[in-house]
Amino acid sequence: MKTPETLAFECETGNYHTFCPISCVAWLYQKIEDSFFLVVGTKTCGYFLQNALGVMIFAEPRYAMAELEEGDISAQLNDQKELEKICLQIRDDRNPSVIIWIGTCTTEIIKMDLEGIAPKLEKQIGIPIIVARANGLDYAFTQGEDTVLAAMAHRCPEYKHCTTNLKNRTDEMARIDNHTTNKSPFEASKLTRFNLVLFGSLSSSIASQLNLELKRQSISVSGWLPSQKYEELPGLGEGIYVCGVNPFLSRTATTLMRRRKCKLVGAPFPIGPDGTRAWIEKICSVFDIKSYGLENRESEIWENVKDYIQVINGKSVFFMGDNLLEISLARFLIRCGMIVYEVGIPYMDRRYQAAELLFLQHTCRKMKTPLPRIVEKPDNYGQIQRMHELKPHLAITGMAHANPLEARNIDTKWSVEFTFAQIHGFSSVRDILELVTRPLRRRGVITPGFRSLSKQTTGD
């Protein structure tokens, strides 16, 4: 099959659905253990957090709404005084190390000067306040994390050069190792220290797995953005290399490069064994290290998951677009032998994702499959019409469309599950495949005769 050499991008600017970017609060408040997230918005924002995300408050949460009322909107109340009242209450009740204000569409529209107020209040209450504008006017779903990390990058301490003093260097290394990985430096003697900071929020166990993978290549990671604790943010500055683990962090990448003078390692993302290998190899190449054992490691993983691959090989998949992980997942699934009809994506930063896009083309050539159609800001209605014609085996879709598509005999998987599941690194490959194959395996396990009962097709 002949494949076009270049990727075609379309931008439909349609009516599409994703979650609001403030949803990042749901995972970031758990990731940054000493933080407090304050969403400055309306009832609409609050109801979203409690309802659509299913985030129920079991105990005292570390996030809350500063709910804007009519007086705030009509500027009868003083924003600074109101926020002061709320932040003092938060300080007294929870005493967090940092308060993160999440600006919303409403604060954008009424032009509330959060960035202006924060420094004043910060002094007054003695707790750092970070302002992130995770609004739906500019961003989609996972990009909320991008706005928070970009804002947080400004608060990372300045990295100090100490290349001359060898003793200092080892001391610092030990310190950072303890902070970031909680491991005894049993391999430390072999390690070469590089100034590598990784960005993107991953569960601590996945983060330490990636640390370990790099350690195997004798690269020690000097820190993560975000860190587990606000006070442990990694030092940034000239001479620091940064590398992202998630495709939706373009703004953070830009901030790290332009404002903090870091060097960005542009790699594909460590999703799938192919992506993880490429990611590690790219980092190694930047530090001029010859990677070893990765090819074996990758093929070993493929060998381990071949039972899953059998389930999806030759099947087709359609990404409606939701969480910006679509390109990486599509690339991985193509490598697994799937045919990707369409990759919908809310926003496509072609520079930040350049390595991933190149890798996608490379993978398509390798697997001899056509390049998928990439549609930015897709029109959901149009996509459903296209799906009627293409009849994909699997649609990866937002929650609003899953049940109706199932009713139309198209197997679905919620895209949001890939946002919350552990999908990074070699050891998560099985988890991704577990998610992807579940709807298809279900088809297999239900006795054929009963099938017609469970799948009902609505008239369309």
Partner 1 sequence: MKLAYWMYAGPAHIGTLRVASSFRNVHAIMHAPLGDDYFNVMRSMLERERDFTPVTASVVDRHVLARGSRDKVVSNISRKGEEQRPDLIVLTPTCTSSILQEDLQNFVDRASLYSESDVILADVNHYRVNELQASDKTLEQIVRYYLDRARKEGIFNRSLTDVPSANIIGILTLGFHNQHDCRELKRLLGELGVSINQIIPEGEFLNNLKDLPRAWFNIVPYREIGLMAASFLEKEYGMPYISTTPIGISNTADFVMQVEKLMNFWATVLLGKKFHYDQYVENQTKFVSQAAWFSKSIDCQNLAGKEAVVFGDATHAASITKILSGEMGIRVSCSGTYCKHDAGWFNEQVQGLCDEVIITEDHTEVGDTIARIEPSAIFGTQMERHIGKRIDIPCGVISSPVHIQNFPLGYRPFMGYEGTNQISDLIYNSFNLGMEDHLLDVFGGHDTKGISTKSLSTGGKSIDWTPEAESELKRIPGFVRGKVKKNTEVFARQNNILKITVDVMYAAKERRSIESLA
Contact (Cβ atoms closer than 8 angstroms) between residue 372 and residue 320: no
Closest to partner 1 by CB, 36 or 159: 36
Closest to partner 1 by CB, 194 or 426: 426
Rounded to the nearest whole angstrom, what is the least distance from the CB of residue 158 to partner 1 in the complex?
30
Contact (Cβ atoms closer than 8 angstroms) between residue 131 and residue 113: no
Contact (Cβ atoms closer than 8 angstroms) between residue 347 and residue 324: yes
Rounded to the nearest whole angstrom, what is the least distance from the CB of residue 14 to partner 1 in the complex?
8
Closest to partner 1 by CB, 328 or 415: 415
Classify the C-alpha dihedral 407-412-415-420 as positive or negative.
Answer: positive
Closest to partner 1 by CB, 305 or 358: 305
Rounded to the nearest whole angstrom, what is the least distance from the CB of residue 212 to partner 1 in the complex?
7
State yes or no: 105 annotated in a binding site: yes
For residue 126, how many C-alpha atoms fall within 13 Å in the half-sphere facing its CB?
3
Contact (Cβ atoms closer than 8 angstroms) between residue 202 and residue 424: yes
**How do 339-345 and 35-41 pair as beta strands?**
unpaired
State yes or no: 156 annotated in a binding site: no
Cis before residue 61, ω within 30 degrees of 0?
no
Closest to partner 1 by CB, 42 or 328: 42
Classify the C-alpha dihedral 28-32-34-35 as positive or negative.
Answer: negative
State yes or no: 45 annotated in a binding site: yes
Rounded to the nearest whole angstrom, what is the least distance from the CB of residue 379 to partner 1 in the complex?
10
Rounded to the nearest whole angstrom, what is the least distance from the CB of residue 166 to partner 1 in the complex?
26
Tell me how far apart the alpha carbons of residues 399 and 90 are, in angstroms, rounded to a whole number. 33
- The conformation of residue 21, written as its DSSP 8-state character, comes to G
Closest to partner 1 by CB, 45 or 240: 45
Which three-class secondary structure state does DSSP give residue 319?
strand
Rounded to the nearest whole angstrom, what is the least distance from the CB of residue 126 to partner 1 in the complex?
19
User: Quick one: angle between helices 294-304 and 429-445, nearest 10?
Assistant: 20
* Cβ neighbours of residue 321 closer than 8 Å, sequence gap 6 or more: 16, 18, 343, 344, 345, 346, 375, 378, 415
Contact (Cβ atoms closer than 8 angstroms) between residue 170 and residue 138: no
Residue of 133, 60, 51 whose CA lies nearest to 90: 60
Contact (Cβ atoms closer than 8 angstroms) between residue 97 and residue 70: no
- The one-letter amino acid code at 278 reads A
Closest to partner 1 by CB, 206 or 364: 206
Rounded to the nearest whole angstrom, what is the least distance from the CB of residue 89 to partner 1 in the complex?
6
Residue ranges of alpha helices (H) inside 95-247 are 105-109, 114-125, 143-153, 166-181, 204-216
Closest to partner 1 by CB, 17 or 193: 17
Rounded to the nearest whole angstrom, what is the least distance from the CB of residue 205 to partner 1 in the complex?
5
DSSP lists the bridge partners of residue 133 as: 103
Contact (Cβ atoms closer than 8 angstroms) between residue 210 and residue 246: no
Interior angle at CA 295, CA 432 and CA 190, nearest 5: 105
Rounded to the nearest whole angstrom, what is the least distance from the CB of residue 401 to partner 1 in the complex?
7
Backbone angles phi, psi at 248, to 5 degrees: -100, 20
Contact (Cβ atoms closer than 8 angstroms) between residue 413 and residue 394: yes
Rounded to the nearest whole angstrom, what is the least distance from the CB of residue 414 to partner 1 in the complex?
10
Closest to partner 1 by CB, 127 or 240: 127
Closest to partner 1 by CB, 165 or 182: 182
Q: Which residues are annotated as a binding site?
A: 20, 45, 105
Q: Which residues are annotated as a binding site for [4Fe-4S] cluster?
A: 20, 45, 105
